[in-house]
Amino acid sequence: QNGFKYYDFGFSWVQEVIDRAIIDTQVGKPVVEPGLFFQEMAYPCYTYDNFLQMIQHALPLCLTISWVYAFAMLTQSIVYEKEVRLKEVMKIMGLSNGVHWVAWFITIFSQTTLVMIAVTLILHYGNVLMHSNAFLI
């Protein structure tokens, strides 16, 4: 293996044939000498990030802690609802069980979505995970 993947897959040969055909039609003379030259881009395959190597063990803990507030508020709301017996009052007023659960889902989903948007913005635009796509974070 010589390390030139362009040559191994035949891309350089196809490019050379197309170049010779274009030169032959434009100039009117066939190209006699071989003009094949190939070189891979001079760019490292991997960008080593020292900060990411140091934070890789602490980042999951920080993400878990970011959820604590949202679920603490959820627990507080559930306990408050049980104390005041809001569900029973809503049933007396004619609210079905399904509507009650949908209301809880919308509440929880909106809170956790706001938390995750904030975490994503901090991680991406705060240059913590600068080489990652924001939609993948």
pLDDT class of 83 with cuts at 50, 70, 90? very high
Return the closest-CA partner of residue 123 out of 60, 81, 31, 50.
60
Mean pLDDT of 71-92: 89
- Specify which of 3-7, 76-80, 130-134 reaches the highest per-range mean pLDDT: 76-80
SS (H, E, C) 94-112: CCCHHHHHHHHHHHHHHHH
CA-derived radius of gyration, the chain:
30
The Cα 122–Cα 134 span in angstroms is 10
The Cα 75–Cα 82 span in angstroms is 11
pTM above 0.85, yes or no: no
pLDDT class of 115 with cuts at 50, 70, 90? confident
Q: What is the pLDDT of residues 39-79, one digit of tens each?
A: 666 666 667 778 778 888 888 888 888 888 888 888 998 89
pLDDT class of 120 with cuts at 50, 70, 90? confident
Show me where the domains of the chain are located. 1-43, 50-125
